[in-house]
Amino acid sequence: MLTKRKRRILFYGSIAIFAAVLFPIILYSLGYGITRSLQIKKTGGIYIEASEGGADVFAEGKHKRTSLIGKSALIKNLLPGAYKVSVEKEGFWKWEKTLDVSSKMVEARNVLLMPKNIDGEVLGTSSPEIVKLKPPLPSVKKFWLIPNTPDFLILGEDKKFYRNKDQFNVEKNFGAEVAEILIGKKQSVFDETFSRLIYWDGSVIDSFWFEDRDKMPQWQKEPHQRIGPLRPAGAIRQVFSYPDWPDWLLVEMSNGVFALEMDISGGQNVFPIYKGKKPEIVSMEPDTLILKDDGNFLKITLP
């Protein structure tokens, strides 16, 4: 038989249990979590925007799937710390990286998933008809295509810059460092957003962000970014900005063409697009590559 005292103990005990269970739920709903050291901290998240819908996103025990329309996924309520993240889909190479999650912050990444079997066809040994944009002056030796325009940036024999035929002040528009790179480096190219200058030698790929720092991608902490040295030494021949994926590069090196992630923090992802003998990128469109390898021309469909 329950006495008045026992009923009182049971009543207050139930309230205590209820409060103990409710407290973490309230914390969770408000975006807080309890660490292993019993500290209460505001949680963060990981946002993945992938090239494929229906891809599985894993973050050390948590799982989301990228939406079929937006091709994105958000994992919320993560305590601050390092998380090994992977994005996977059958038939594609796995993307992996360790991301540092901070309180009240969402760590975002653009994930290019590359098929293991990419569509392509052999065009034969005859050179296909390719429209190559050229600057208006035939004697020009050093020039750069200005992305998303028909214009060219030209370095004249007088060491002055021209936009097509009109003199153009690179230092005033982009800064002295951009001018130094354009003049001093043999191989360089603007990315498709016209915010970054990419330049390389046989083993190292460098880039310089010359736009406002506030517009830099989240993963980039400083305007200068270096990838490499890559092996084998002297393997890099050409570098391009990957169409529609400004955080990624198309790199022609050694015996293949590769998609290379610019963000090297937490692990870098490199995926093969084509492997042969010594392929050369002849032409690049938003979704197509024309390669020449071992005397044959090939058409590769980019994901």
Q: What does 232-276 look like in DSSP terms, one character per residue?
A: STT-EEEEEEPTT-TTEEEEEETTEEEEEES--TT---EEEEEES
Residues 144 and 290 both lie in one domain: yes
pLDDT the model gives residue 170: 95
Residues 159 and 106 both lie in one domain: no
Residues 243 and 162 both lie in one domain: yes
pLDDT the model gives residue 251: 95
Question: Edge-to-edge strands of the sheet including 280-285?
Answer: 120-124, 296-301, 288-293, 280-285
pTM: 0.82
pLDDT the model gives residue 1: 54
pLDDT the model gives residue 9: 55
Beta strand segments in 71-105, E:
72-78, 81-88, 95-101
Grade residue 287 by pLDDT with cuts at 50, 70 and 90: confident
Is residue 85 in a domain?
yes
Distance CA 116, CA 12 (A): 62
Grade residue 28 by pLDDT with cuts at 50, 70 and 90: very low
> Does residue 35 surpass a pLDDT of 70?
no
What is the total count of domains within the chain? 3
Is residue 273 in a domain?
yes
Least confident of 130-139, 154-163, 206-215, 268-277: 130-139
Grade residue 30 by pLDDT with cuts at 50, 70 and 90: very low
pLDDT the model gives residue 135: 74
Strands 256-261 and 296-301, bridge-based pairing: unpaired
Residues 158 and 244 both lie in one domain: yes
Residues 266 and 225 both lie in one domain: yes
Residues 127 and 174 both lie in one domain: yes
Q: If we measure between CA atoms, which residue out of 204, 244, 239, 243 comes closest to residue 225?
A: 204
Q: What is the pLDDT of residues 95-110, one digit of tens each?
A: 999 999 999 899 999 9
Is residue 217 in a domain?
yes
- Segment holding 198, helix H or strand E: strand 196-200
> Does residue 246 surpass a pLDDT of 50?
yes
Is residue 295 in a domain?
yes
Burial 220-253 (b: 16+ CB within 10 A, else e): beeeebebbebeeeebbbbbbbbbebbbbbbbbb
Residues 175 and 215 both lie in one domain: yes
Is residue 269 in a domain?
yes
Q: Taken in order 97, 226, 280, 51, is the CA torsion positive or negative?
A: positive
Q: Return the percentage of the chain with pLDDT > 70, whole number.
A: 84
Range of the domain at 22: 4-30
Report residue 10: phi and psi, to 5°.
Answer: -65, -40
Is residue 44 in a domain?
yes
- List beta partners, residue 120: 300
249 touches 188 (CB < 8 A): no
CA atoms in the 13 A half-sphere facing the CB of 88: 7
> Does residue 37 surpass a pLDDT of 60?
no
Is residue 35 in a domain?
no
Residues 210 and 242 both lie in one domain: yes
Grade residue 34 by pLDDT with cuts at 50, 70 and 90: very low
Is residue 193 in a domain?
yes
Q: What is the pLDDT of residues 152-195, one digit of tens each?
A: 999 998 889 999 989 999 999 999 999 999 999 999 999 999 99
Grade residue 2 by pLDDT with cuts at 50, 70 and 90: low
Residues 70 and 170 both lie in one domain: no
pLDDT the model gives residue 21: 44
What sections of 80-226 are H helices per DSSP?
Answer: 170-174, 176-184
- Average pLDDT of the segment spanning 40-62: 90
pLDDT the model gives residue 15: 53
Distance CA 285, CA 270 (A): 21
Residues 22 and 148 both lie in one domain: no
- Average pLDDT of the segment spanning 78-82: 93
Residues 140 and 86 both lie in one domain: no
Residues 159 and 253 both lie in one domain: yes
- Average pLDDT of the segment spanning 231-247: 88
Distance CA 25, CA 37 (A): 18
